[in-house]
C-alpha cells in the first residue's frame, strides 16, 4: 500500500463565494515508502496548498487524501495522520514554540504523550540527525537561518514521522543555509530511510530527488523520474519552470550545434558529455 | 531547584519585604541574597546590571520622600539629628531621610530577588511552574494550560517581534520617515506606519505558528506529557522551610508578637 495516496484532489479557496479560486484541480498521485519526491511549480501553482492538504491542515473540496490508509478528513484519527506526515514550513522563525531549543524539539513528542525519558532520547536523536547536538540548551534566536531551519526539521523528526514534507524550507535561506539543510535531508533519507516530499522552486534542489512532480495552475503536468524530467529544458519552460544550470548549459550548447550525448542534469554528467565530444 | 519552589519563594520574598522596617533586617536579607547569588554562580555584575533599569525610579522616589516628608515632632527631629531644613512646601528632615533610605533598600531588594529567578530559570520552566501552581483554577474551568502556552509562546516571540520592528522602522526610514523629530505627539504619530505593518505581520506569523503547532500534533493539554518532570527534592523543601521561618521572624518583629519587639531595640541600638 502506498504511504500517501491522492485521488482526484480538488481544493478551492473561498468555496461557493464570488471570489472562489481553484488552487488544485484534480490531482492524483501515489507516494511509495522511501521515495524522494521533488514537487516543483511556479508561484501560484498550488504547491504550498498541497503541503497543507497532505497532513490534514486543510480539507479537500473534493477527492481524497489518504495517509497510511487513513483519510485526512477522518477527524478522530487526524493525529495519526499528522504523526505519519510531518511538515516543515518556509519561515523557521514562525515555527518555534519555545525559547529554548530542547523545549522546542520536545514539543511534538510531548503532544503525543510520549513518556519523559523517551522524549529526552528523541530530542537527542533528532538533534544528532541535524547535526546540532551542541546547541541543545541554547536559544534559537542567535542561530543563522540554516541552523534555525535545521532545528525546525529536528522538531518534526522528534515526532518520528514516516514522511517528511518540506514546504519551500530552503527558500528563505542563503546559499550556505540551503546547502546545510539539503545535506541534512539527504543524511536523514539515507540513514532513516524516510520518505521525503520536497516542495521547491529551485531546480538544482529538485535534481537531488528520485522523482519530480510538476504543478502548473493546479494540475500535475509532469510526474516522472527526476532525471528525465529535469533534462528536458523546453518542456519545463513551457510550464514556467527552470531546469538545473547544467541542463540549461547543455541545451544552449546543443542549440549552437554541439552534439552532447545523453540526458544531462548534473555537473558531472555535463563534464562527462563534454569530455566525450570528438 | 524546582521552578515551583523558586517561584513560591520569590513571591514570599516580595511580600516579606513589605513587612521589613529596619535597616538591620534589610542588611540581613541582602546578605542572604548575596549567598544565593554566590551559590547560583551568576556573575555579580550581571545581577547588578538589572538595577540600571530602575535607577531613575530609585532616585526619583528617594528625592520625593525626602522632600515631602514633614517629620513628626519637629523639636524631636532637631534634637535627635540636629538638622532640619524647611523651604516652602519642601522639608528635609531626619525621618524623611530614614524613610527614603528604607524605600531604596526595599526597592533594590525587590528588583534583585526576582532578577535572580529569571537568571536561573528558563522561561519554559517558569511557565510550567505557573501552570502547576494555578492548577486549582482548573476546577473553576479556567483554561490554565492555555494561559501557560500563551505565556511561553509570547516569550519566545518577543525577540522575533523586536527584529521585525527594527526591520519595518528601517524600511520606513528608507522611505523618508523620521522617528526622532518633532514633539511627542508627532513622534507618536510617526510610529503609526510602523505599528500597522507590525500588526499585519504578527497576524501572519500567528497563522504560520498555528499551522506549525497543528502539524506537530498539538491538541491542548489532553494526553500531553512533559520532557522535564517537575519534582520537589530535599533542597526545595529546605529552601521553602527557611523562607517560611524568615517570613515568620519578620512578621514577629513587625507585629510585636509575644512582646518580641525588644529584639528591635537591640537591633536598632
Report CB contact under 8 Å: A98, B228: no
**Can you give the pLDDT at residue B73?**
53
- Domain match, B21 and B131 both: no
Q: Which residue would you say has higher pLDDT here, B220 or B240?
A: B240
Contact with chain B for residue A156, Cβ under 8 A? yes
- Domain match, B3 and B108 both: yes
Report CB contact under 8 Å: A116, B208: no
- Domain match, B147 and B222 both: yes
- Domain match, B220 and B154 both: yes
Average pLDDT of chain B, as a whole number = 79
Domain A4-226 belongs to what architecture?
3-Layer(aba) Sandwich (3.40)
User: How does residue B79 score in pLDDT terms, banded at 50, 70 and 90?
Assistant: very low
- Domain match, B44 and B100 both: yes
> Mean pLDDT across the stretch A184-205?
87
> Mean pLDDT across the stretch A165-171?
87
- Domain match, B117 and B41 both: yes
pLDDT digits (tens, 9 = 90+) for B17-43: 888 777 777 888 888 888 888 888 888
CA neighbours closer than 13 Å in the CB half-sphere of residue B84: 15
Is residue B91 pLDDT above 80, yes or no? no
Smallest CA–CA distance, residue B226 to chain A, in Å, is 6
User: How does residue B94 score in pLDDT terms, banded at 50, 70 and 90?
Assistant: low
User: Is pTM beyond 0.90 here?
Assistant: no
- Domain match, B99 and B202 both: no
Is residue B268 pLDDT above 80, yes or no? no
Is residue A197 pLDDT above 90, yes or no? yes
> Mean pLDDT across the stretch B158-185?
84
**Can you give the pLDDT at residue B90?**
62
**Can you give the pLDDT at residue A189?**
87
Smallest CA–CA distance, residue A217 to chain B, in Å, is 24
Please give the residue range of the domain that contains residue B206. Answer: 123-227
Contact with chain A for residue B216, Cβ under 8 A? yes
Report CB contact under 8 Å: B156, A123: no
- CB atoms near residue A1 (< 10 Å): 9
Smallest CA–CA distance, residue A200 to chain B, in Å, is 18
> Mean pLDDT across the stretch A30-37?
91
User: How does residue B44 score in pLDDT terms, banded at 50, 70 and 90?
Assistant: confident
Contact with chain A for residue B213, Cβ under 8 A? yes
Is residue B83 pLDDT above 60, yes or no? no
**Can you give the pLDDT at residue A177?**
84
Compute the count of residue pairs across chains A and B with CB atoms less than 8 Å apart. Answer: 102
> Mean pLDDT across the stretch A73-92?
89
- Domain match, B205 and B245 both: no
- Domain match, B140 and B204 both: yes
User: How does residue B92 score in pLDDT terms, banded at 50, 70 and 90?
Assistant: low
Is residue A158 pLDDT above 80, yes or no? yes
Report CB contact under 8 Å: A89, B208: yes
> Mean pLDDT across the stretch B114-143?
84
Contact with chain B for residue A96, Cβ under 8 A? yes
**Can you give the pLDDT at residue B269?**
47
Is residue B75 pLDDT above 50, yes or no? no
**Can you give the pLDDT at residue B263?**
59
Q: Name which of A37, A80, A91 is nearest A210 in CA terms.
A: A37
Residue B70 near residue B89 (C-beta atoms within 8 A): no
Cell 479557496, located at residue: A13
Q: Are strands A36-41 and A195-200 parallel, antiparallel or unpaired?
A: parallel
Sign for the CA dihedral angle at B196, A94, A170, A136 comes to positive
DSSP state of B1: -
**Can you give the pLDDT at residue B265?**
56
- CB atoms near residue A191 (< 10 Å): 9
- Domain match, B197 and B264 both: no
User: How does residue A37 score in pLDDT terms, banded at 50, 70 and 90?
Assistant: very high
Contacts of A273 (CB under 8 A, 6+ apart): A250, A260, A261, A262, A264
Is residue A10 pLDDT above 80, yes or no? yes
pLDDT digits (tens, 9 = 90+) for A88-128: 998 888 888 888 899 899 999 999 989 999 999 999 999 98
- Domain match, B196 and B144 both: yes
Is residue A165 pLDDT above 90, yes or no? yes
What distance in Å separates the CA atoms of residue B153 and residue B124, rounded to the nearest whole number? 9
B225: which chain A residues are within 8 Å (Cβ-Cβ)? Answer: 109-110, 113-116, 119
A120: which chain B residues are within 8 Å (Cβ-Cβ)? Answer: 227
**Can you give the pLDDT at residue B192?**
85
Number of independent structural domains in chain B: 2
What distance in Å separates the CA atoms of residue B176 and residue B156, rounded to the nearest whole number? 32
Is residue B267 pLDDT above 70, yes or no? no
Of A95, A103, A111, the CB nearest to B217: A111
Interface of A with B in 51-80 (CB under 8 A): 52, 55, 57, 79
Report CB contact under 8 Å: A95, B212: yes
> Mean pLDDT across the stretch B175-193?
80
> Mean pLDDT across the stretch A218-227?
88
- Domain match, B7 and B94 both: yes
Asked whether this complex has an ipTM greater than 0.90, the answer is no
Nearest CA in chain B to A116: B227
User: How does residue A16 score in pLDDT terms, banded at 50, 70 and 90?
Assistant: confident
Amino acid at each position: 500500500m502506498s504511504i500517501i495516496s491522492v485521488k482526484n484532489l480538488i481544493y478551492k479557496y473561498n468555496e461557493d463565494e464570488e471570489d472562489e479560486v481553484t488552487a488544485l484541480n484534480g490531482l492524483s498521485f501515489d507516494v511509495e515508502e522511501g521515495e524522494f519526491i521533488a514537487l516543483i511549480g511556479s508561484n501560484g501553482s498550488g504547491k504550498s496548498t498541497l503541503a497543507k492538504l497532505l497532513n490534514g491542515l486543510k480539507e479537500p473540496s473534493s477527492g481524497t487524501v489518504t495517509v497510511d490508509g487513513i483519510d485526512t478528513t477522518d477527524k478522530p484519527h487526524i493525529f495519526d495522520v499528522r504523526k505519519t506526515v510531518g511538515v516543515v514550513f518556509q519561515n523557521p522563525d514562525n515555527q518555534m514554540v519555545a525559547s529554548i531549543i530542547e523545549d522546542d524539539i520536545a514539543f511534538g513528542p510531548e503532544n503525543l504523550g510520549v513518556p519523559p525519558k523517551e522524549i529526552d532520547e528523541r530530542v537527542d536523536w533528532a538533534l544528532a540527525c541535524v547535526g546540532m547536538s551542541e546547541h541543545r540548551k541554547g536559544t534559537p534566536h542567535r542561530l543563522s537561518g540554516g541552523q534555525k531551519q535545521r532545528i525546525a526539521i529536528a522538531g518534526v523528526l522528534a515526532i518520528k514521522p514516516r514522511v517528511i514534507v518540506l514546504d519551500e524550507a530552503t527558500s528563505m535561506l542563503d546559499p550556505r543555509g540551503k546547502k546545510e539543510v539539503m545535506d541534512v535531508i539527504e543524511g536523514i533519507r539515507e540513514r532513516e530511510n524516510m520518505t521525503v516530499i520536497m516542495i521547491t522552486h529551485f531546480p538544482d534542489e529538485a535534481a537531488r530527488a528520485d522523482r519530480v512532480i510538476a504543478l502548473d495552475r493546479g494540475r500535475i503536468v509532469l510526474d516522472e523520474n527526476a532525471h528525465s524530467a529535469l533534462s528536458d529544458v523546453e518542456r519545463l519552460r513551457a510550464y514556467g519552470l527552470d531546469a538545473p544550470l547544467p541542463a540549461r548549459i547543455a541545451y544552449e550548447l546543443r542549440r549552437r550545434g554541439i552534439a552532447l550525448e545523453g540526458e544531462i542534469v548534473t555537473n558531472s554528467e555535463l563534464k562527462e558529455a563534454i569530455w566525450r565530444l570528438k | 531547584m524546582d521552578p515551583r519552589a523558586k517561584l513560591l519563594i520569590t513571591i514570599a520574598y516580595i511580600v516579606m519585604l513589605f513587612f521589613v522596617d529596619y535597616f538591620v533586617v534589610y542588611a540581613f536579607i541582602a546578605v542572604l541574597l548575596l549567598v544565593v547569588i554566590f551559590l547560583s554562580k551568576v556573575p555579580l555584575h550581571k545581577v547588578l546590571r538589572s538595577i540600571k533599569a530602575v535607577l531613575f525610579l530609585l532616585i526619583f522616589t528617594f528625592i520625593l520622600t525626602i522632600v515631602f516628608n514633614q517629620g513628626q515632632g519637629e523639636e524631636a527631629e532637631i534634637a535627635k539629628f540636629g538638622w532640619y531644613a524647611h523651604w516652602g512646601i519642601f522639608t528635609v528632615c531626619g525621618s524623611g531621610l530614614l524613610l527614603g533610605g528604607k524605600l531604596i533598600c526595599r526597592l533594590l531588594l525587590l528588583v534583585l530577588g526576582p532578577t535572580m529567578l529569571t537568571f536561573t530559570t528558563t522561561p519554559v520552566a517558569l511557565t510550567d511552574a505557573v501552570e502547576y501552581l494555578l492548577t486549582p483554577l482548573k476546577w473553576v474551568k479556567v483554561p490554565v494550560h492555555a494561559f501557560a502556552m500563551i505565556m511561553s509562546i509570547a516569550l519566545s516571540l518577543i525577540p522575533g517581534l523586536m527584529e521585525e520592528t527594527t526591520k519595518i522602522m528601517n524600511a520606513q526610514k528608507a522611505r523618508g520617515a523620521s522617528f526622532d523629530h518633532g514633539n511627542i505627539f508627532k513622534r507618536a504619530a510617526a510610529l503609526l506606519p510602523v505599528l500597522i505593518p507590525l500588526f499585519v505581520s504578527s497576524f501572519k506569523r500567528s497563522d504560520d505558528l498555528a499551522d506549525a503547532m497543528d502539524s506537530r500534533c498539538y491538541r491542548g493539554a489532553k494526553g500531553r506529557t512533559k520532557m522535564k518532570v517537575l519534582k520537589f527534592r530535599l533542597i526545595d523543601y529546605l529552601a521553602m522551610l527557611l523562607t517560611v521561618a524568615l517570613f515568620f521572624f519578620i512578621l514577629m518583629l513587625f507585629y510585636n508578637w509575644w512582646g518580641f519587639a525588644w529584639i528591635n531595640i537591640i537591633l536598632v541600638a
